[in-house]
Amino acid sequence: DVKVTQSSRYLVKRTGEKVFLECVQDMDHENMFWYRQDPGLGLRLIYFSYDVKMKEKGDIPEGYSVSREKKERFSLILESASTNQTSMYLCASSASGANYGYTFGSGTRLTVV
Amino acid sequence: DAKTTQPPSMDCAEGRAANLPCNHSTISGNEYVYWYRQIHSQGPQYIIHGLKNNETNEMASLIITEDRKSSTLILPHATLRDTAVYYCIVRLAGVSGAGSYQLTFGKGTKLSVIP
């Protein structure tokens, strides 16, 4: 089975901390994505990457950056965490082409205090 | 990508078929219809997708109308574990480049399977 693994299920961080969320996939997928999910707002795309070292902004990139140094790993970075970044963060991967579905990780619930 | 419209919630008796509708009246000829579901506190799970023809897999069936303006996801024998939010998404096919890779999730349909 395709697996997308997010490093932490729950995280609590302080305001102003630099936060790293890690995601690893084991199916050699070209594309990887970071979403956040909030009640009433649904899933919103933060960033995605379609190749190593390539990245594209999604709908809400402000306050975030990403890194993709290896094909299997896609990191989301909160440069200076704020309370409005408290959310569920979901990583996904897919093969190239529109005829392929996404595989999601289990999510990281981040609380910024 | 075309917008989709789904009912906010539905109930289904355990063991019965669950039929989840989706309207996508502005769909274009090269857009796929995808279905995902999200069980509480988990990441979304891919169910099925199709372009024109009806599709079936081990999880569900997808019926797409001939004009492609609507579709129905069918769970043939719903169980309590099928209680989840179901998302219908349309997505461009045959377009290269970074912009073609996005999936845009709406609010979905919350399906409750009742014992």
First-to-final CA distance of chain A = 36
Tokens of A102: 């996404």
- Given a cut of 90, whether residue A72 has pLDDT beyond it is yes
Tally of CB atoms within 10 A around B31: 21
Check CB contact under 8 Å for A105 and B36: no
The per-residue pLDDT for A106 is 93
| A:12-51 residues touching chain B, CB 8 A cutoff | 31, 33, 35, 42-43, 45, 48, 50
Residue of chain A whose alpha carbon sits nearest to that of B101:
A98
How far apart are alpha carbons A68 and A49 in whole angstroms?
7
The per-residue pLDDT for B106 is 84
Residue of chain B whose alpha carbon sits nearest to that of A40:
B107
Check CB contact under 8 Å for B36 and A43: no
The per-residue pLDDT for B100 is 54
How far apart are alpha carbons B110 and B103 in whole angstroms?
19
A2 in contact with B, Cβ within 8 Å: no
How far apart are alpha carbons A86 and A12 in whole angstroms?
9
Average pLDDT for runs of 10 along chain B of length 115 = 86 97 90 92 91 93 95 97 95 57 82 97
